[in-house]
Structure 1
Amino acid sequence: MTDTDQMQNNGHVVLIASPFDGHVVPLLDLARHLSVHFHITYLISASKLSFIKQHGYLVEKENNKMVSTNIGIDFIGLFDHNDADFEVTRSNVNTLVRPIIERMYEPLQQILFSQPMKSTSITLLSTESIDRPIDMIIADIFVYPFVRNAKERGITTQMFCPTSFAVIPALMRVVTDETPKSEWPDLTASIIEAYPFADGIICNSIEKFEEHAIEDMRQQATPYSKVPVRFVAPLMSEASVNKDTMEVTSRVKNWLQTQWELANQTPSVIYIAFGTSASISSAQVLQIADALTSYPVIWSLKSKLLECLPSSFVNNEKSLLLDWVPQRLVLSHPAVCLFISHGGWNSLLECILAGKPVLVWPLFGDQITNGKCAEEEFHIGQCMKNASFVDDQRVVLSAEIKGYLQQMFDRQLEYTQNARQMQQKCTHAEQNSSLRYFNEIVRIINERAAVRLDRKTIEL
């Protein structure tokens, strides 16, 4: 048997990510887990390959070629003209996503469903082509057109939900006019239309967290409720340290250790991050800085906003300001007492896994639901009110922020205990329900690969 034959005898899974960091990261974690069993091809906008490199999955060789650090994963960049960093603002929150996804359509259609191109006159719309049979496609929930396309071609397809499953029944109600308000009405309808064509949903959550959402879906009694859902979180592990991030990671570790010692080995540091997509105003940044002046703070803040801060805050030894922070490392450090977050689901899971309280400052999308969940269901912190893009992103004044911080610290013991209980639920799921669901996915892929190989044997 040749190496090529052996390579094609292994199951092959194609993962399609939408180019939003909160979607890219959990799908990377899933790719890493699946690569233990199968060969993985990860498709993403070419402009995001540098982001994947930052997370330690790619290295750049002398010829400027990006090479995967995991021999079981191939990364292919799509030339889809999604070249800019995406900033969600109050003015574009309703219109940003759909054009980005639509630009991915042509290169994805070419690489997934076109015949192998032998002619050099045809322009390849990706960094490489796929040269092996596909046993399963796992498509981010935003990349909805390819669920139906794959189904029509007989390819087993799963939709990947990078957030809480609660968004799915909520989207259903938007489509049926039970909930008239939606930031992305057209996108919502398209996702729900594609939903029943999926063979299953893989959700970046834990079954125990989603009991209400599962029951909500069942009660709707629609064809959508029959699609099997598998919960596989927590998927994350500590990000790989590479030469590009090594210096920052070392600096962060040293700074946190210093704060830990200065506080006599008690938690004192506030970590604040609003994700990579949302854009907050310079006026808001100044109000936040004023509220945090008296605390040790590590703040993940875009470079252009760092310039807005007063020198007294920037040069304060109690402040560490960076445009990129190794978040999982920071949250796991004992010096950190509180996470101020935009409430992205991935950040919320990382916070729970670290057993830390959270003050959620939601800006758009599922962050508002996640914030309510953190406060009302998980009881691990509070959610700021009327501060999102939906609320015209008013400038929250320093006094109000200080008020939230005081409430968090007044109940710090309670929130910390609850966070650690949630942490234990995550750990239990990792070895039980989530492992069982993951093994089901592995079994399905193995079965599809076996059918393909049997068909090949018959043809020979």
Structure 2
Amino acid sequence: MNREPHVLILPFPSQGHIKPLLSLAALLCQAGIHVTFLNIDSYHRRLTHLQALSAHFPTLHLESINDGLPADHPLSPINRVPEIVSSVMSVTKPLFRELLGDLSRKPERPITCVIADGIMSFAIDFAKELGIRAISFRGFPAACLWSFFCIPKLIEEGHIPIRGEDDMDRIVTGIPGMEGLLRRRDLPSIFRQPLDDPIYKLMTEDPHATTHASALILNTFDDLESPILSHRLAPLFSKIYTIGPLGALLRSRTGDDVLRSLSSSSNFWEADCSCMTWLDSQPLGSVVYVSFGTSVIMTRDQLMELWHGLVNCGRPFLWVIRRDSVAGAEGDEHMIPVELQEGTKGRCLLVDWAPQEDVLAHPSTGGFLTHCGWNAILESIVAGLPILCWPQYGDQLINGRFVSEVWRFGLEMKDTCDRSTVEMMIKALMEDRRAEIMASMDRIAKLAHDCVDKSGSSYTNLDKLIEDIREV
């Protein structure tokens, strides 16, 4: 008997993971497929605007599952991730197994396919046990995923675990296809943890669990990472669907209104849209936009060095500083000293959160100082805006190296944060090296826009994914 397709999507509980999977959910719903989007309870409560997105798509069903976390758990920033992972694995994992069994046996519209974030690989195995098609989703680049598959070789060659006294500039030789490119400092930050660290074990075992899935979805595009996709990952998976940049693909298929609704629906923080009026008052291409995403934590010293570097570069800047982004800060203690604020009054603006895609696309924005998260990179590519990378953890370290040395649409200041370096790098991005960087960015931005247009690679790969889901 043919069954109407019904996809269950399970994201890893992090805003940066939820957002691209919400885009995928919207794209599947636009094709008429029923989607149940399953968040853990703590995130479901915080994402108060999700219902606005479901209003666009009647086949989108928003559900939640117990995570065992206290109601007042802050969820973010990055130092809370171990608590979340521990609770999800002990509480959510067995509950998910039971829930999936119940949903698969529903007489009306049973689950026919599970799409799970790669870190939630238990969902893949549970789906297979029940005879349900399982697809793994990875929200970081193919290059980072391939590095995880090379862990045994990296251990054998003594590159990991990375210790504090190690030569961080030693070239890494254990990742085929990246010879001569990566240094130890460019490897994912989890490789700096002991081999028996629970998070290390989770992150390094999951890539191989990913191969248990019937297919892999990546939020990247063929023209950006074709060598790694075709020569390294393709032999490991029967099917790979590259459908990024997901935000641009969603806009291509549904328009700006849905993309804006999704952006607000997936954010913990209310965007301060007054910054757009401030941008309107600035000269074209003059503003440095600064945002380190949803989870990065700075020390107060780093905050001050960044601030001084931005002040000294002489350019206007818009800086997103979350209330929880400075270690040890309480109340307003993390805010910038009055004398520095007075010295830049009129040419800088601080906000708790910003409508990032709109800021990046604004004509006054000329450069992006970022933590180099994959969502931020893709959004910057779509906007055609050059990047200054200050990567902190996870895939950001590899991302930064590829931005500066492979794709060449940005610069990187990894493992450093002093005012003179910040000033020098901003001037290089905005002035001294701008022509060469923009040449690379213009080329890659065009490839990104082409791939999400009708007949483009990501557009047609999404059609193939939809067709395969319908055939199950």
TM-score normalised to structure 1 length: 0.80
Q: 1:199-256: per-residue Cα shift (whole Å, max 9, x none)? A: 000000001112231245269x6xxx14321100121144228799999554122111
What does residue 304 of structure 2 align with?
A: 286
2:58 is the alignment partner of 1:58? no
What does residue 458 of structure 1 align with?
A: none
Report percent identity of matched pairs.
24
Contact map agreement 2:104 2:110 (CA 8 A) in 1: no
Write the distance in 2 (CA, Å) between the matches of 1:130 and 1:379. Answer: 53
Taking only aligned residues, the RMSD between alpha carbons, in angstroms, comes to 2.9
Deviation at 1:34, TM superposition (A): 0.7
Write the distance in 1 (CA, Å) between the matches of 2:270 and 2:278. Answer: 12
What does residue 338 of structure 2 align with?
A: 311
Equivalences for residues 10-409 of structure 1 within 5 A: 10-37=4-31, 38-49=33-44, 52-54=47-49, 57-59=50-52, 68-82=55-69, 83-89=73-79, 95=82, 98-102=85-89, 103-114=91-102, 132-176=109-153, 177-178=155-156, 180-181=160-161, 182=191, 183=193, 184-217=199-232, 225-236=236-247, 237=251, 238-240=259-261, 248=271, 250-259=273-282, 263=283, 266-293=284-311, 294-304=314-324, 305=326, 307-308=333-334, 309-314=336-341, 316-387=345-416, 396-408=417-429, 409=431
Partner-residue secondary structure (3-state), 2:260: coil
Deviation at 1:300, TM superposition (A): 1.2
Write the distance in 2 (CA, Å) between the matches of 1:130 and 1:440. Answer: 27
Write the distance in 1 (CA, Å) between the matches of 2:204 and 2:30. Answer: 36
Note the residue ranges of structure 2 that are not aligned, 5 or more in a row: 162-190, 194-198, 252-258, 327-331
Write the distance in 2 (CA, Å) between the matches of 1:9 and 1:447. Answer: 9
Write the distance in 2 (CA, Å) between the matches of 1:447 and 1:436. Answer: 17
Note the residue ranges of structure 1 that are not aligned, 5 or more in a row: 1-7, 60-65, 118-128, 388-395, 449-460
Q: 1:148-194: per-residue Cα shift (whole Å, max 9, x none)? A: 11112111111001010112221111145355332553113430341
CA, structure 1 residues 271+152, in 2 after alignment: closer, same or farther (shift >3 Å)?
same
What does residue 172 of structure 2 align with?
A: none
Write the distance in 2 (CA, Å) between the matches of 1:164 and 1:201. Answer: 12
Write the distance in 2 (CA, Å) between the matches of 1:277 and 1:245. Answer: 11
Q: 1:295-319: per-residue Cα shift (whole Å, max 9, x none)? A: 2111111125464211244462222
CA, structure 1 residues 157+116, in 2 after alignment: closer, same or farther (shift >3 Å)?
closer
Contact map agreement 1:17 1:24 (CA 8 A) in 2: yes
Deviation at 1:27, TM superposition (A): 0.5
Deviation at 1:68, TM superposition (A): 5.0
CA, structure 1 residues 174+69, in 2 after alignment: closer, same or farther (shift >3 Å)?
same
Contact map agreement 2:289 2:369 (CA 8 A) in 1: yes
Write the distance in 1 (CA, Å) between the matches of 2:268 and 2:40. Answer: 22
Contact map agreement 1:314 1:321 (CA 8 A) in 2: no
What does residue 439 of structure 1 align with?
A: 463
The more displaced of 73-82 and 301-310 is 301-310
CA, structure 1 residues 322+51, in 2 after alignment: closer, same or farther (shift >3 Å)?
farther
Deviation at 1:443, TM superposition (A): 0.8
The size of the alignment, in residue pairs, is 402
Write the distance in 2 (CA, Å) between the matches of 1:269 and 1:51. Answer: 31
Write the distance in 1 (CA, Å) between the matches of 2:45 and 2:51. Answer: 8
What does residue 126 of structure 1 align with?
A: none
CA, structure 1 residues 312+51, in 2 after alignment: closer, same or farther (shift >3 Å)?
farther
Deviation at 1:415, TM superposition (A): 1.4
Deviation at 1:112, TM superposition (A): 1.2
Contact map agreement 2:264 2:270 (CA 8 A) in 1: no
CA, structure 1 residues 157+194, in 2 after alignment: closer, same or farther (shift >3 Å)?
same
Contact map agreement 1:88 1:96 (CA 8 A) in 2: no
Q: Which amino acid aligns with 1:36?
A: Q
Partner-residue secondary structure (3-state), 1:166: helix
CA, structure 1 residues 43+406, in 2 after alignment: closer, same or farther (shift >3 Å)?
same
Partner-residue secondary structure (3-state), 2:116: strand
Contact map agreement 2:75 2:84 (CA 8 A) in 1: no
